[in-house]
Each structure stands twice: as structure tokens, then as C-alpha cells.
């Protein structure tokens, strides 16, 4: 039960990290902001990036309780890819390409291989 609590907290923190990450990358490309000044875009990009690190560091420490370093790295790629799919749809209003899905499949295979190597 204790590990379940850590896993749920880790998952929630990673979702927050990815949302902030995507906003740090793509907020300046939204129609509401695209014509704003460079200083405005820089301020909000740095704000989102700083907030992202406030959640990323605890997420990594919690993830170390039940995942190996390689598994945490691969899981961060999974969250990033899922975040990219969400950003394409919700922020950029772009279609999701086939290469996005192929990248996710490759990462899932990597997670499965690393999990079985660690477990036995």
C-alpha cells in the first residue's frame, strides 16, 4: 500500500511537470501570445520552466523509491511523448503524426526490456 501511494504521487507530479514543460515550450506560439513582446514571452517561458523544476525534482526522488535510474529516464520519455500528443491537440491545434506514435511504441519496448532486466 505504501508503494501505491508513492506511485500515485509520482504519477501526479509527472503530469504536472509535463503540463508545465509543454507550456514552457509552446506557450509563446499560441495565437494569444504570438504578437506579444520578447520580454513577455521570455518571462512566461522562464516562469513555466522554473515551476516545472519545482515539481520535477521531487518526482525524481519519489521515483527512485521504486524505479531504477534507467526506468525513470524511460518513463520521463513516455510522459514527454504523451505530453507532446496533448500539446499537439490542445495547444498547437495540430494533427498527431505517425512518427509520434512510433516513438511511443519504441519507448514502451525499452521500458519492458529494462523492467525484465532489473527484475530478472
> What is the rounded CA–CA span in Å between residue 46 and residue 76?
20
Residues lower than pLDDT 70 in the chain = 1, 117-120
pTM recorded for the entire structure: 0.76
Burial 36-75 (b: 16+ CB within 10 A, else e): eeeeeeeebbeebeebbeebbeebbebbeeebeeebbebb
pLDDT tens, position by position, 72-87: 877 887 788 888 888 8
> What is the rounded CA–CA span in Å between residue 18 and residue 26?
12
Asked if residue 17 lies in contact with residue 52, where contact means CB atoms within 8 angstroms, the answer is yes
Report the pLDDT value the prediction gives residue 116, as an integer from 0 to 100.
Answer: 73
List the domain boundaries for the chain: 2-119
Report the pLDDT value the prediction gives residue 10, as an integer from 0 to 100.
Answer: 92
Report the pLDDT value the prediction gives residue 109, as an integer from 0 to 100.
Answer: 85
Report the pLDDT value the prediction gives residue 44, as an integer from 0 to 100.
Answer: 92
**Cα-flanking dihedrals φ and ψ of residue 27, to 5°?**
-60, -40
Report the pLDDT value the prediction gives residue 59, as an integer from 0 to 100.
Answer: 93
Supply the DSSP string of 2-18, one letter for each residue. Answer: HHHHHHHHHHHHHHHHH
Amino acid at each position: 500500500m505504501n508503494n501505491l501511494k508513492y506511485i500515485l504521487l509520482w504519477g501526479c507530479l509527472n503530469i504536472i511537470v509535463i503540463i508545465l514543460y509543454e507550456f514552457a515550450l509552446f506557450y509563446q506560439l499560441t495565437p494569444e501570445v504570438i504578437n506579444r513582446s520578447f520580454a513577455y514571452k521570455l518571462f512566461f517561458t522562464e516562469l513555466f520552466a522554473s515551476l516545472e523544476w519545482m515539481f520535477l525534482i521531487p518526482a525524481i526522488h519519489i521515483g527512485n523509491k521504486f524505479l531504477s535510474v534507467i526506468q525513470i529516464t524511460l518513463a520521463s520519455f513516455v510522459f514527454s511523448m504523451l505530453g507532446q500528443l496533448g500539446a499537439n491537440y490542445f495547444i498547437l491545434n495540430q494533427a498527431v503524426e505517425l512518427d509520434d506514435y512510433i516513438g511511443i511504441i519504441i519507448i514502451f519496448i525499452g521500458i519492458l526490456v529494462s523492467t525484465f532486466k532489473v527484475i530478472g
